[in-house]
């Protein structure tokens, strides 16, 4: 039996011709753990696929992504669409 198997994680499969961009990001351990848990609870999704679907859901529900205020505490949120 091999160590480190990731057979339970779904692969990102984009239609042919779709351009993808690789991003390198740094997260706190707490945020990383929350995203991994949410991806697993959503059907063993990879981080990239979970984020793609999260963006799609926010766009469908709110008409776009929220624009966050540049505060250190991160509690303010501004809407990008008219109310």
Collapsing DSSP to helix, strand or coil, 29 comes out as: helix
Is the residue at 38 inside a domain?
Answer: yes
The whole-number pLDDT of residue 1 equals 45
- Domain of residue 66: give its range: 29-78
In a domain, 13, yes or no: no
83 part of a folded domain? no
Structure tokens at 47: 């981080």
Residue 21 inside a domain? The answer is: no
Total domain count, the chain? 1
Please check the confidence at residue 71 and state whether its pLDDT lies above 80.
no
Residue 10 lies inside a defined structural domain of this protein: no
Pick the more confident residue, 78 or 2. 78
10-58 per-position pLDDT tens digit = 565 667 787 888 889 999 999 999 999 999 999 888 888 899 999 999 9
Q: Is position 35 within any domain?
A: yes
Assess contact for 68 and 78: CB atoms under 8 A.
yes
- Of 51, 45, 47, 46, the residue nearest 65 (C-alpha): 51
What pLDDT shows up at residue 61?
Answer: 96
In a domain, 24, yes or no: no
**Separation of alpha carbons 16 and 47, rounded Å:** 21
Residue 19 maps to a domain: no
């Amino acid at each position: 039996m091999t160590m480190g198997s990731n057979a339970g994680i779904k692969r990102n499969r984009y239609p042919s011709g779709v351009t993808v961009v690789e991003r390198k990001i740094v997260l706190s351990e707490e945020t990383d753990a929350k995203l991994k848990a949410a991806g697993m609870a959503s059907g063993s999704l990879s981080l990239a696929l979970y984020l793609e679907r999260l963006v799609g859901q926010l766009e469908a529900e709110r008409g776009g992504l929220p624009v966050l205020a540049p505060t250190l505490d991160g509690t303010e949120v501004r809407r990008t669409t008219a109310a």
